[in-house]
Structure 1
Amino acid sequence: MQYFDELFLNIRARDIIDILIVAFAFYKLFMLIRETRAEQLTKGIIVLFVATKISEWLELFTVYWILEKTMTVGVLAILIVFQPELRRGLEYIGRSRFFTKSFAEIKDENLNEVVDEIVDAVASLSRQKIGALIVIERQTGLSEVVETGTKVDGRVSSGLLINIFIPNTPLHDGAVVIKEDVVKAAGCFLPLTDNASLSKELGTRHRAALGISEKSDSLAIVVSEETGAISIAENGSLARYLDIKTLKKILIDMYKPKIQRQSFFIKWRRKDEQGEEK
Protein backbone atom coordinates (compact mmCIF):
# COMPACT_ATOMS: atom_id res chain seq x y z
CA MET A 1 0.00 0.00 0.00
CA GLN A 2 2.89 2.34 0.74
CA TYR A 3 4.19 1.78 -2.80
CA PHE A 4 0.85 2.73 -4.33
CA ASP A 5 0.54 5.76 -2.07
CA GLU A 6 3.95 7.01 -3.21
CA LEU A 7 3.08 6.25 -6.83
CA PHE A 8 -0.08 8.35 -6.77
CA LEU A 9 1.54 11.15 -4.82
CA ASN A 10 4.32 11.45 -7.39
CA ILE A 11 2.03 11.58 -10.42
CA ARG A 12 2.23 14.93 -12.17
CA ALA A 13 -0.16 16.57 -14.60
CA ARG A 14 2.24 15.95 -17.48
CA ASP A 15 2.27 12.23 -16.59
CA ILE A 16 -1.51 12.09 -16.90
CA ILE A 17 -1.34 13.91 -20.25
CA ASP A 18 1.39 11.50 -21.39
CA ILE A 19 -0.75 8.46 -20.48
CA LEU A 20 -3.84 9.88 -22.19
CA ILE A 21 -1.92 10.59 -25.40
CA VAL A 22 -0.53 7.05 -25.52
CA ALA A 23 -3.94 5.55 -24.72
CA PHE A 24 -5.59 7.65 -27.44
CA ALA A 25 -2.92 6.66 -29.97
CA PHE A 26 -3.35 2.96 -29.16
CA TYR A 27 -7.13 3.33 -29.40
CA LYS A 28 -6.91 4.90 -32.84
CA LEU A 29 -4.37 2.30 -33.93
CA PHE A 30 -6.74 -0.44 -32.83
CA MET A 31 -9.62 1.17 -34.73
CA LEU A 32 -7.43 1.31 -37.83
CA ILE A 33 -6.43 -2.34 -37.46
CA ARG A 34 -10.10 -3.32 -37.19
CA GLU A 35 -10.52 -2.24 -40.78
CA THR A 36 -7.98 -4.79 -42.05
CA ARG A 37 -6.87 -8.40 -41.74
CA ALA A 38 -4.19 -7.16 -39.33
CA GLU A 39 -6.58 -7.64 -36.42
CA GLN A 40 -6.33 -11.42 -36.62
CA LEU A 41 -2.55 -11.25 -37.14
CA THR A 42 -2.18 -9.00 -34.11
CA LYS A 43 -4.07 -11.49 -31.96
CA GLY A 44 -1.67 -14.22 -33.07
CA ILE A 45 1.34 -12.07 -32.13
CA ILE A 46 -0.15 -11.36 -28.70
CA VAL A 47 -0.68 -15.09 -28.12
CA LEU A 48 2.96 -15.80 -29.03
CA PHE A 49 4.16 -13.05 -26.70
CA VAL A 50 2.09 -14.36 -23.78
CA ALA A 51 3.25 -17.93 -24.46
CA THR A 52 6.87 -16.73 -24.44
CA LYS A 53 6.48 -15.08 -21.04
CA ILE A 54 4.65 -18.07 -19.56
CA SER A 55 7.36 -20.47 -20.75
CA GLU A 56 9.98 -18.18 -19.16
CA TRP A 57 8.15 -18.11 -15.82
CA LEU A 58 7.68 -21.90 -15.85
CA GLU A 59 11.35 -22.39 -16.83
CA LEU A 60 10.49 -24.35 -19.95
CA PHE A 61 13.85 -23.53 -21.45
CA THR A 62 13.48 -25.29 -24.81
CA VAL A 63 10.03 -23.86 -25.48
CA TYR A 64 11.19 -20.43 -24.34
CA TRP A 65 14.27 -20.54 -26.61
CA ILE A 66 12.14 -21.45 -29.65
CA LEU A 67 9.51 -18.79 -28.94
CA GLU A 68 12.13 -16.13 -28.20
CA LYS A 69 13.91 -16.78 -31.50
CA THR A 70 10.56 -16.77 -33.27
CA MET A 71 9.67 -13.39 -31.77
CA THR A 72 13.10 -12.00 -32.74
CA VAL A 73 12.71 -13.02 -36.37
CA GLY A 74 9.06 -11.99 -36.19
CA VAL A 75 9.98 -8.30 -35.99
CA LEU A 76 11.10 -8.42 -39.61
CA ALA A 77 8.15 -10.60 -40.55
CA ILE A 78 5.75 -8.07 -39.02
CA LEU A 79 7.06 -5.31 -41.29
CA ILE A 80 6.52 -7.56 -44.32
CA VAL A 81 3.13 -8.91 -43.28
CA PHE A 82 1.74 -5.54 -42.21
CA GLN A 83 3.11 -3.62 -45.18
CA PRO A 84 -0.35 -2.94 -46.71
CA GLU A 85 -1.70 -1.81 -43.32
CA LEU A 86 1.31 0.45 -42.69
CA ARG A 87 0.83 2.01 -46.11
CA ARG A 88 -2.85 2.60 -45.44
CA GLY A 89 -2.07 4.12 -42.06
CA LEU A 90 0.28 6.65 -43.60
CA GLU A 91 -2.30 7.44 -46.27
CA TYR A 92 -4.93 8.13 -43.62
CA ILE A 93 -2.57 10.48 -41.80
CA GLY A 94 -1.80 12.29 -45.05
CA ARG A 95 -5.51 12.78 -45.76
CA SER A 96 -6.24 13.90 -42.18
CA ARG A 97 -8.71 11.05 -41.79
CA PHE A 98 -6.70 9.07 -39.26
CA PHE A 99 -8.48 10.60 -36.26
CA THR A 100 -11.95 10.85 -37.77
CA LYS A 101 -12.83 7.31 -38.78
CA SER A 102 -16.25 6.08 -37.70
CA PHE A 103 -18.20 2.90 -38.00
CA ALA A 104 -21.83 2.49 -38.99
CA GLU A 105 -24.00 0.13 -36.95
CA ILE A 106 -27.19 -1.54 -38.08
CA LYS A 107 -30.23 -1.07 -35.89
CA ASP A 108 -32.09 -4.17 -34.71
CA GLU A 109 -35.40 -2.84 -36.00
CA ASN A 110 -33.92 -2.46 -39.50
CA LEU A 111 -32.52 -5.99 -39.69
CA ASN A 112 -35.48 -7.58 -41.47
CA GLU A 113 -35.76 -4.63 -43.83
CA VAL A 114 -32.12 -4.86 -44.90
CA VAL A 115 -32.31 -8.62 -45.37
CA ASP A 116 -35.53 -8.33 -47.38
CA GLU A 117 -34.00 -5.70 -49.67
CA ILE A 118 -30.95 -7.88 -50.40
CA VAL A 119 -33.05 -11.02 -50.91
CA ASP A 120 -35.52 -9.23 -53.21
CA ALA A 121 -32.66 -7.88 -55.32
CA VAL A 122 -30.98 -11.30 -55.58
CA ALA A 123 -34.29 -12.97 -56.44
CA SER A 124 -34.98 -10.45 -59.21
CA LEU A 125 -31.48 -10.72 -60.63
CA SER A 126 -31.72 -14.52 -60.53
CA ARG A 127 -35.05 -14.55 -62.41
CA GLN A 128 -33.65 -12.26 -65.10
CA LYS A 129 -30.33 -14.15 -65.24
CA ILE A 130 -28.36 -10.99 -64.57
CA GLY A 131 -24.90 -11.67 -63.17
CA ALA A 132 -24.16 -10.15 -59.78
CA LEU A 133 -21.54 -10.24 -57.03
CA ILE A 134 -22.42 -8.85 -53.60
CA VAL A 135 -19.88 -8.89 -50.75
CA ILE A 136 -21.11 -8.33 -47.20
CA GLU A 137 -18.45 -7.10 -44.79
CA ARG A 138 -18.31 -8.68 -41.35
CA GLN A 139 -15.50 -8.43 -38.77
CA THR A 140 -12.63 -8.07 -41.24
CA GLY A 141 -12.65 -4.65 -42.87
CA LEU A 142 -12.74 -4.32 -46.65
CA SER A 143 -11.56 -0.75 -47.02
CA GLU A 144 -8.88 -1.81 -49.50
CA VAL A 145 -11.55 -3.36 -51.71
CA VAL A 146 -13.85 -0.35 -51.40
CA GLU A 147 -11.03 1.92 -52.60
CA THR A 148 -10.83 -0.01 -55.90
CA GLY A 149 -14.43 0.80 -56.82
CA THR A 150 -16.81 3.74 -56.97
CA LYS A 151 -18.08 4.88 -53.59
CA VAL A 152 -21.85 4.87 -53.20
CA ASP A 153 -22.57 5.20 -49.46
CA GLY A 154 -26.27 4.62 -50.04
CA ARG A 155 -28.76 2.76 -47.92
CA VAL A 156 -29.30 -0.84 -49.01
CA SER A 157 -32.31 -1.20 -51.30
CA SER A 158 -33.34 -3.72 -53.90
CA GLY A 159 -33.74 -1.02 -56.54
CA LEU A 160 -30.22 0.28 -56.02
CA LEU A 161 -28.67 -3.19 -56.16
CA ILE A 162 -30.64 -4.19 -59.27
CA ASN A 163 -29.75 -0.99 -61.12
CA ILE A 164 -26.05 -1.42 -60.35
CA PHE A 165 -25.95 -4.83 -62.04
CA ILE A 166 -28.04 -4.01 -65.11
CA PRO A 167 -25.92 -5.08 -68.14
CA ASN A 168 -23.92 -2.44 -70.00
CA THR A 169 -23.96 0.00 -67.09
CA PRO A 170 -20.61 1.35 -65.83
CA LEU A 171 -20.57 -0.65 -62.58
CA HIS A 172 -22.21 -3.94 -63.52
CA ASP A 173 -18.97 -5.90 -63.97
CA GLY A 174 -17.52 -5.29 -60.50
CA ALA A 175 -18.57 -6.28 -57.00
CA VAL A 176 -20.80 -4.40 -54.59
CA VAL A 177 -19.56 -4.08 -51.00
CA ILE A 178 -22.15 -3.79 -48.23
CA LYS A 179 -21.26 -2.82 -44.68
CA GLU A 180 -24.08 -3.24 -42.16
CA ASP A 181 -27.03 -1.49 -43.91
CA VAL A 182 -25.00 0.68 -46.31
CA VAL A 183 -23.85 0.02 -49.87
CA LYS A 184 -20.29 1.28 -49.52
CA ALA A 185 -19.11 0.95 -53.13
CA ALA A 186 -19.79 -0.69 -56.49
CA GLY A 187 -17.59 -1.80 -59.37
CA CYS A 188 -14.97 -3.09 -56.94
CA PHE A 189 -12.14 -5.44 -57.90
CA LEU A 190 -11.69 -8.61 -55.85
CA PRO A 191 -8.72 -10.97 -55.60
CA LEU A 192 -9.23 -14.23 -57.50
CA THR A 193 -8.82 -17.55 -55.73
CA ASP A 194 -5.70 -19.62 -56.39
CA ASN A 195 -7.59 -22.88 -55.91
CA ALA A 196 -6.67 -24.98 -58.94
CA SER A 197 -9.19 -27.72 -58.17
CA LEU A 198 -12.26 -25.62 -58.93
CA SER A 199 -14.66 -26.69 -61.63
CA LYS A 200 -13.91 -25.22 -65.05
CA GLU A 201 -17.52 -24.11 -65.37
CA LEU A 202 -17.06 -21.53 -62.61
CA GLY A 203 -16.55 -18.06 -64.01
CA THR A 204 -14.73 -14.98 -62.78
CA ARG A 205 -17.50 -13.95 -60.36
CA HIS A 206 -17.37 -17.25 -58.50
CA ARG A 207 -13.58 -17.21 -58.39
CA ALA A 208 -13.58 -13.63 -57.12
CA ALA A 209 -16.16 -14.52 -54.45
CA LEU A 210 -13.97 -17.39 -53.27
CA GLY A 211 -10.90 -15.16 -53.38
CA ILE A 212 -12.35 -12.52 -51.05
CA SER A 213 -13.74 -15.20 -48.72
CA GLU A 214 -10.25 -16.71 -48.42
CA LYS A 215 -8.74 -13.37 -47.42
CA SER A 216 -11.50 -12.18 -45.07
CA ASP A 217 -14.51 -13.38 -43.11
CA SER A 218 -16.92 -11.68 -45.51
CA LEU A 219 -19.90 -13.38 -47.12
CA ALA A 220 -20.11 -13.18 -50.92
CA ILE A 221 -23.34 -13.73 -52.85
CA VAL A 222 -23.06 -14.66 -56.53
CA VAL A 223 -25.78 -14.76 -59.18
CA SER A 224 -24.79 -16.68 -62.28
CA GLU A 225 -25.25 -14.83 -65.55
CA GLU A 226 -25.70 -18.10 -67.49
CA THR A 227 -28.13 -19.98 -65.23
CA GLY A 228 -29.36 -17.45 -62.67
CA ALA A 229 -28.23 -19.84 -59.91
CA ILE A 230 -27.51 -18.32 -56.51
CA SER A 231 -24.29 -19.19 -54.67
CA ILE A 232 -22.53 -18.01 -51.54
CA ALA A 233 -18.84 -18.09 -50.65
CA GLU A 234 -17.54 -18.08 -47.10
CA ASN A 235 -14.24 -19.15 -45.53
CA GLY A 236 -12.92 -20.34 -48.89
CA SER A 237 -15.91 -22.65 -49.51
CA LEU A 238 -18.61 -22.27 -52.15
CA ALA A 239 -22.23 -23.31 -51.70
CA ARG A 240 -24.20 -23.37 -54.96
CA TYR A 241 -27.81 -23.57 -56.09
CA LEU A 242 -29.37 -21.95 -53.03
CA ASP A 243 -33.05 -21.04 -52.95
CA ILE A 244 -34.36 -17.70 -51.73
CA LYS A 245 -35.66 -19.11 -48.46
CA THR A 246 -32.24 -20.52 -47.54
CA LEU A 247 -30.49 -17.31 -48.55
CA LYS A 248 -32.80 -15.25 -46.35
CA LYS A 249 -32.14 -17.50 -43.36
CA ILE A 250 -28.39 -17.23 -43.88
CA LEU A 251 -28.54 -13.43 -44.01
CA ILE A 252 -30.73 -13.16 -40.92
CA ASP A 253 -28.32 -15.39 -38.99
CA MET A 254 -25.38 -13.32 -40.21
CA TYR A 255 -26.87 -10.01 -39.09
CA LYS A 256 -27.68 -11.27 -35.59
CA PRO A 257 -25.64 -9.91 -32.67
CA LYS A 258 -22.41 -11.78 -32.00
CA ILE A 259 -23.86 -13.52 -28.94
CA GLN A 260 -26.77 -14.94 -30.92
CA ARG A 261 -24.90 -15.62 -34.15
CA GLN A 262 -24.41 -19.24 -35.07
CA SER A 263 -22.38 -21.00 -37.73
CA PHE A 264 -24.70 -20.80 -40.70
CA PHE A 265 -22.64 -21.87 -43.70
CA ILE A 266 -24.49 -24.77 -45.30
CA LYS A 267 -22.61 -26.81 -47.91
CA TRP A 268 -24.64 -27.70 -50.96
CA ARG A 269 -23.64 -30.15 -53.67
CA ARG A 270 -24.81 -30.09 -57.23
CA LYS A 271 -27.14 -32.98 -58.13
CA ASP A 272 -26.65 -34.92 -61.33
CA GLU A 273 -29.40 -35.85 -63.77
CA GLN A 274 -30.38 -38.92 -61.71
CA GLY A 275 -30.84 -36.82 -58.59
CA GLU A 276 -27.78 -38.20 -56.80
CA GLU A 277 -25.31 -35.91 -55.08
CA LYS A 278 -21.85 -35.69 -56.56
Structure 2
Amino acid sequence: MEQQITQLMERYLSIVDVYFPEVHLTDVIEVIILTFLIYQIMIWIKNTKAWMLLKGIIVLAVFILVAAILKMHTILFVARNSVTVMATAAIVVFQPELRRALEKLGERKFLTSVVPFETNRERVRFSEETMDSMIDAAYSMGAVKTGALIVVEQAIRLTEYESTGIRLDCMVSRQVLINIFEHNTPLHDGAIIIRGDRIVSATCYLPLSDNMGLSKDLGTRHRAAVGMSEVSDALVIAVSEETGAVSVASGGQLYRNISREELREKLTSIQNKKTDTNKLIAMWKGRHHHEEKTDE
Protein backbone atom coordinates (compact mmCIF):
# COMPACT_ATOMS: atom_id res chain seq x y z
CA MET A 1 0.00 0.00 0.00
CA GLU A 2 2.78 2.40 0.92
CA GLN A 3 4.60 1.52 -2.28
CA GLN A 4 1.51 2.31 -4.35
CA ILE A 5 1.10 5.69 -2.61
CA THR A 6 4.77 6.47 -3.27
CA GLN A 7 4.47 5.57 -6.96
CA LEU A 8 1.30 7.66 -7.24
CA MET A 9 3.04 10.67 -5.70
CA GLU A 10 6.05 10.26 -7.97
CA ARG A 11 3.80 10.02 -11.04
CA TYR A 12 1.83 13.11 -9.94
CA LEU A 13 4.96 15.16 -9.30
CA SER A 14 6.43 14.13 -12.64
CA ILE A 15 3.28 15.33 -14.42
CA VAL A 16 2.90 18.57 -12.52
CA ASP A 17 6.67 19.19 -12.50
CA VAL A 18 6.60 20.95 -9.14
CA TYR A 19 9.78 22.74 -8.22
CA PHE A 20 10.80 22.92 -4.56
CA PRO A 21 13.70 25.34 -4.09
CA GLU A 22 16.40 24.48 -1.61
CA VAL A 23 16.21 26.91 1.30
CA HIS A 24 19.32 27.71 3.34
CA LEU A 25 19.71 29.56 6.62
CA THR A 26 21.31 32.50 4.82
CA ASP A 27 18.19 32.80 2.63
CA VAL A 28 15.98 33.08 5.72
CA ILE A 29 18.29 35.70 7.26
CA GLU A 30 18.34 37.63 3.99
CA VAL A 31 14.53 37.70 3.81
CA ILE A 32 14.30 38.90 7.43
CA ILE A 33 16.83 41.70 6.80
CA LEU A 34 15.09 42.84 3.61
CA THR A 35 11.69 42.76 5.33
CA PHE A 36 12.99 44.88 8.20
CA LEU A 37 14.64 47.42 5.87
CA ILE A 38 11.60 47.71 3.61
CA TYR A 39 9.34 48.17 6.65
CA GLN A 40 11.59 50.90 8.06
CA ILE A 41 11.70 52.67 4.69
CA MET A 42 7.90 52.58 4.44
CA ILE A 43 7.53 54.00 7.97
CA TRP A 44 10.09 56.71 7.16
CA ILE A 45 8.33 57.63 3.92
CA LYS A 46 4.97 57.83 5.69
CA ASN A 47 6.18 60.08 8.53
CA THR A 48 8.36 62.54 6.59
CA LYS A 49 8.33 64.76 3.54
CA ALA A 50 9.53 61.75 1.57
CA TRP A 51 5.85 60.84 1.10
CA MET A 52 5.46 63.95 -1.06
CA LEU A 53 8.64 62.99 -2.91
CA LEU A 54 7.28 59.50 -3.54
CA LYS A 55 4.03 60.88 -4.94
CA GLY A 56 6.02 63.19 -7.20
CA ILE A 57 8.13 60.28 -8.44
CA ILE A 58 4.98 58.24 -9.16
CA VAL A 59 3.51 61.14 -11.19
CA LEU A 60 6.76 61.50 -13.16
CA ALA A 61 6.89 57.73 -13.75
CA VAL A 62 3.35 57.74 -15.13
CA PHE A 63 4.17 60.72 -17.33
CA ILE A 64 7.32 59.03 -18.67
CA LEU A 65 5.36 55.79 -19.28
CA VAL A 66 2.83 57.71 -21.35
CA ALA A 67 5.68 59.37 -23.25
CA ALA A 68 7.22 55.94 -23.94
CA ILE A 69 3.91 54.54 -25.19
CA LEU A 70 3.38 57.53 -27.48
CA LYS A 71 7.08 57.48 -28.49
CA MET A 72 7.82 61.06 -27.45
CA HIS A 73 11.57 60.80 -28.02
CA THR A 74 12.46 64.30 -26.84
CA ILE A 75 10.79 63.83 -23.46
CA LEU A 76 12.41 60.40 -23.07
CA PHE A 77 15.84 61.88 -23.90
CA VAL A 78 15.40 64.60 -21.26
CA ALA A 79 14.19 62.05 -18.70
CA ARG A 80 17.16 59.73 -19.30
CA ASN A 81 19.70 62.52 -18.92
CA SER A 82 18.11 64.13 -15.87
CA VAL A 83 17.83 61.02 -13.65
CA THR A 84 21.26 61.56 -12.06
CA VAL A 85 20.64 65.27 -11.48
CA MET A 86 17.22 64.61 -9.92
CA ALA A 87 18.62 61.90 -7.62
CA THR A 88 21.37 64.26 -6.41
CA ALA A 89 18.84 67.06 -5.89
CA ALA A 90 16.58 64.75 -3.88
CA ILE A 91 19.49 63.78 -1.59
CA VAL A 92 20.37 67.45 -1.01
CA VAL A 93 16.76 68.55 -0.41
CA PHE A 94 15.91 65.64 1.90
CA GLN A 95 19.24 65.49 3.72
CA PRO A 96 17.68 66.17 7.17
CA GLU A 97 15.10 63.42 6.68
CA LEU A 98 17.74 60.94 5.47
CA ARG A 99 19.95 61.73 8.45
CA ARG A 100 16.99 61.36 10.81
CA ALA A 101 16.12 57.99 9.28
CA LEU A 102 19.66 56.68 9.82
CA GLU A 103 19.63 57.97 13.41
CA LYS A 104 16.34 56.19 14.09
CA LEU A 105 17.75 53.01 12.59
CA GLY A 106 20.74 53.30 14.89
CA GLU A 107 18.46 53.63 17.93
CA ARG A 108 17.13 50.06 17.58
CA LYS A 109 18.08 47.90 20.55
CA PHE A 110 17.04 44.46 19.27
CA LEU A 111 20.65 43.23 19.10
CA THR A 112 21.67 44.56 22.50
CA SER A 113 18.68 42.78 24.04
CA VAL A 114 20.25 39.46 23.01
CA VAL A 115 23.98 40.15 23.18
CA PRO A 116 25.26 42.64 25.79
CA PHE A 117 27.52 44.79 23.63
CA GLU A 118 29.69 47.49 25.19
CA THR A 119 29.53 45.94 28.63
CA ASN A 120 32.40 48.08 29.87
CA ARG A 121 30.81 51.32 28.75
CA GLU A 122 29.56 53.66 31.44
CA ARG A 123 25.76 53.73 31.50
CA VAL A 124 24.37 57.02 32.66
CA ARG A 125 21.14 56.93 34.64
CA PHE A 126 19.68 59.76 36.66
CA SER A 127 18.80 59.21 40.29
CA GLU A 128 15.50 59.55 42.11
CA GLU A 129 16.74 62.86 43.57
CA THR A 130 17.34 64.21 40.07
CA MET A 131 13.88 63.08 38.97
CA ASP A 132 12.24 64.76 41.96
CA SER A 133 14.21 67.95 41.30
CA MET A 134 13.10 68.11 37.66
CA ILE A 135 9.46 67.48 38.56
CA ASP A 136 9.41 69.99 41.43
CA ALA A 137 11.20 72.64 39.37
CA ALA A 138 8.91 72.19 36.35
CA TYR A 139 5.70 72.65 38.34
CA SER A 140 7.16 75.43 40.50
CA MET A 141 8.07 77.35 37.33
CA GLY A 142 4.68 76.54 35.84
CA ALA A 143 2.94 78.04 38.88
CA VAL A 144 4.59 81.43 38.25
CA LYS A 145 4.55 81.05 34.42
CA THR A 146 8.29 80.87 33.93
CA GLY A 147 9.16 79.28 30.60
CA ALA A 148 11.60 76.38 30.60
CA LEU A 149 13.02 73.77 28.26
CA ILE A 150 14.75 70.75 29.83
CA VAL A 151 16.33 68.05 27.65
CA VAL A 152 16.96 64.69 29.37
CA GLU A 153 19.59 62.82 27.37
CA GLN A 154 19.35 59.07 26.86
CA ALA A 155 21.35 56.78 24.56
CA ILE A 156 22.09 59.30 21.80
CA ARG A 157 24.77 61.80 22.84
CA LEU A 158 23.67 65.38 22.20
CA THR A 159 27.18 66.76 21.77
CA GLU A 160 26.39 68.91 18.73
CA TYR A 161 23.49 70.63 20.53
CA GLU A 162 25.48 70.84 23.75
CA SER A 163 28.14 72.86 21.93
CA THR A 164 25.61 75.52 20.88
CA GLY A 165 25.17 76.64 24.49
CA ILE A 166 27.28 77.46 27.51
CA ARG A 167 29.06 74.49 29.03
CA LEU A 168 28.15 73.71 32.65
CA ASP A 169 28.97 70.95 35.07
CA CYS A 170 26.69 71.04 38.08
CA MET A 171 24.37 68.72 39.94
CA VAL A 172 20.67 68.88 39.09
CA SER A 173 18.59 70.49 41.83
CA ARG A 174 15.29 72.29 42.03
CA GLN A 175 16.95 75.56 43.04
CA VAL A 176 19.51 75.46 40.21
CA LEU A 177 16.86 74.75 37.57
CA ILE A 178 14.60 77.56 38.78
CA ASN A 179 17.53 79.97 38.93
CA ILE A 180 18.65 79.13 35.38
CA PHE A 181 15.23 79.85 33.83
CA GLU A 182 14.45 82.92 35.98
CA HIS A 183 13.57 85.95 33.85
CA ASN A 184 16.42 88.27 32.88
CA THR A 185 19.16 85.86 34.00
CA PRO A 186 22.06 85.19 31.57
CA LEU A 187 21.14 81.51 31.08
CA HIS A 188 17.34 81.64 30.87
CA ASP A 189 17.10 81.78 27.06
CA GLY A 190 17.27 78.41 25.33
CA ALA A 191 17.35 74.84 26.63
CA ILE A 192 19.44 72.97 29.15
CA ILE A 193 20.76 69.44 28.60
CA ILE A 194 20.83 66.97 31.49
CA ARG A 195 23.13 63.95 31.31
CA GLY A 196 22.74 61.59 34.20
CA ASP A 197 22.61 63.66 37.38
CA ARG A 198 24.36 66.71 35.93
CA ILE A 199 23.49 69.75 33.84
CA VAL A 200 26.08 69.79 31.05
CA SER A 201 24.98 72.82 29.03
CA ALA A 202 22.55 75.76 29.06
CA THR A 203 21.18 78.26 26.51
CA CYS A 204 21.29 75.49 23.86
CA TYR A 205 19.63 75.90 20.48
CA LEU A 206 17.36 73.04 19.48
CA PRO A 207 16.04 72.14 16.00
CA LEU A 208 12.47 73.24 15.33
CA SER A 209 9.95 70.66 14.18
CA ASP A 210 8.42 71.15 10.75
CA ASN A 211 5.49 68.88 11.60
CA MET A 212 2.44 70.59 10.09
CA GLY A 213 0.15 68.57 12.35
CA LEU A 214 1.18 70.48 15.47
CA SER A 215 -1.31 72.94 16.90
CA LYS A 216 -0.96 76.49 15.60
CA ASP A 217 -1.08 77.93 19.10
CA LEU A 218 2.22 76.28 20.02
CA GLY A 219 5.20 78.60 20.27
CA THR A 220 8.87 78.18 19.45
CA ARG A 221 9.62 76.49 22.78
CA HIS A 222 7.22 73.59 22.17
CA ARG A 223 8.23 73.23 18.51
CA ALA A 224 11.85 73.01 19.63
CA ALA A 225 10.89 70.34 22.16
CA VAL A 226 9.18 68.25 19.47
CA GLY A 227 12.03 68.86 17.02
CA MET A 228 14.58 67.64 19.55
CA SER A 229 12.56 64.48 20.20
CA GLU A 230 12.36 63.85 16.44
CA VAL A 231 16.12 63.84 15.88
CA SER A 232 17.08 61.97 19.07
CA ASP A 233 15.73 59.67 21.76
CA ALA A 234 15.80 62.45 24.36
CA LEU A 235 12.81 63.25 26.56
CA VAL A 236 12.13 67.01 26.58
CA ILE A 237 10.17 68.86 29.28
CA ALA A 238 8.63 72.17 28.20
CA VAL A 239 7.02 74.68 30.57
CA SER A 240 4.77 77.23 28.89
CA GLU A 241 5.45 80.88 29.65
CA GLU A 242 1.89 81.84 28.65
CA THR A 243 -0.17 79.21 30.49
CA GLY A 244 2.29 77.58 32.90
CA ALA A 245 1.32 74.14 31.60
CA VAL A 246 3.94 71.39 31.62
CA SER A 247 4.33 69.32 28.44
CA VAL A 248 6.61 66.46 27.42
CA ALA A 249 7.97 65.63 23.96
CA SER A 250 9.17 62.12 23.20
CA GLY A 251 9.58 60.24 19.93
CA GLY A 252 8.20 63.16 17.91
CA GLN A 253 4.99 63.26 19.97
CA LEU A 254 3.96 66.11 22.27
CA TYR A 255 1.97 65.33 25.42
CA ARG A 256 0.45 68.62 26.53
CA ASN A 257 -0.59 69.80 29.97
CA ILE A 258 0.36 66.62 31.79
CA SER A 259 0.05 66.12 35.54
CA ARG A 260 2.85 65.64 38.02
CA GLU A 261 2.12 61.90 38.16
CA GLU A 262 2.20 61.57 34.37
CA LEU A 263 5.55 63.35 34.21
CA ARG A 264 6.93 61.00 36.86
CA GLU A 265 5.68 58.00 34.85
CA LYS A 266 7.47 59.19 31.70
CA LEU A 267 10.71 59.86 33.54
CA THR A 268 10.45 56.50 35.30
CA SER A 269 9.91 54.75 31.96
CA ILE A 270 13.25 55.93 30.59
CA GLN A 271 14.85 55.05 33.91
CA ASN A 272 13.44 51.51 33.66
CA LYS A 273 14.69 51.22 30.10
CA LYS A 274 18.24 51.69 31.26
CA THR A 275 17.65 49.58 34.36
CA ASP A 276 16.46 46.64 32.26
CA THR A 277 19.61 46.84 30.15
CA ASN A 278 21.79 46.95 33.23
CA LYS A 279 19.94 43.96 34.72
CA LEU A 280 20.53 41.98 31.53
CA ILE A 281 24.25 42.73 31.63
CA ALA A 282 24.41 41.88 35.34
CA MET A 283 22.64 38.56 34.68
CA TRP A 284 25.02 37.76 31.83
CA LYS A 285 28.07 38.62 33.96
CA GLY A 286 26.71 36.55 36.87
CA ARG A 287 26.11 33.57 34.63
CA HIS A 288 29.60 33.89 33.17
CA HIS A 289 31.10 34.10 36.65
CA HIS A 290 29.10 31.05 37.77
CA GLU A 291 30.35 29.06 34.77
CA GLU A 292 33.93 29.96 35.63
CA LYS A 293 33.46 28.77 39.22
CA THR A 294 31.85 25.55 37.99
CA ASP A 295 34.80 24.85 35.68
CA GLU A 296 37.16 25.28 38.61
Normalising by structure 2, we get a TM-score of: 0.52
What residue number does 1:210 align with?
226
Q: Are 1:230 and 2:246 matched, yes or no?
A: yes
What residue number does 2:256 align with?
240
SS at match of 1:221: strand
Tell me if structure 2 keeps the 8 A contact 1:129–1:225.
yes
The answer to which of 127-136 and 190-199 deviates more is: 190-199
Q: 1:168-207 CA distances to partner (integer Å, 9 max, x unpaired)?
A: 1122110010011111100000000011222111000100
The 1:196–1:244 alpha-carbon spacing in structure 2 relative to 1, beyond 3 Å, is same
Tell me if structure 2 keeps the 8 A contact 1:136–1:179.
yes
Tell me if structure 2 keeps the 8 A contact 1:151–1:184.
yes
What residue number does 2:195 align with?
179
Q: Are 1:141 and 2:187 matched, yes or no?
A: no
Alignment of structure 1 residues 82-231 onto 2, 5 Å: 105-106=124-125, 111-231=127-247
Using the alignment, how far apart are the partners of 1:176 and 1:146 within structure 2?
A: 8
The answer to which of 250-259 and 239-248 deviates more is: 250-259
SS at match of 2:127: helix
The number of aligned residues is 172
The 1:55–1:115 alpha-carbon spacing in structure 2 relative to 1, beyond 3 Å, is same
Using the alignment, how far apart are the partners of 2:29 and 2:160 within structure 1?
A: 41
The 1:104–1:158 alpha-carbon spacing in structure 2 relative to 1, beyond 3 Å, is farther
Equivalent AA in structure 1 for residue 252 of structure 2: G
Q: Which has more radius of gyration? A: 2
What residue number does 1:254 align with?
270
Equivalent AA in structure 2 for residue 186 of structure 1: A
Using the alignment, how far apart are the partners of 2:237 and 2:205 within structure 1?
A: 15
Using the alignment, how far apart are the partners of 1:257 and 1:57 within structure 2?
A: 28
RMSD, aligned α-carbons: 3.0
What residue number does 2:18 align with?
none
The 1:164–1:259 alpha-carbon spacing in structure 2 relative to 1, beyond 3 Å, is closer
Equivalent AA in structure 1 for residue 124 of structure 2: E
Equivalent AA in structure 2 for residue 105 of structure 1: V
Q: Aligned-pair distance for 1:56? A: 11
Q: Aligned-pair distance for 1:145? A: 0.6
Gaps of 5+ in 2: 1-24, 39-87, 100-120, 278-296
**Greater helix content:** 2
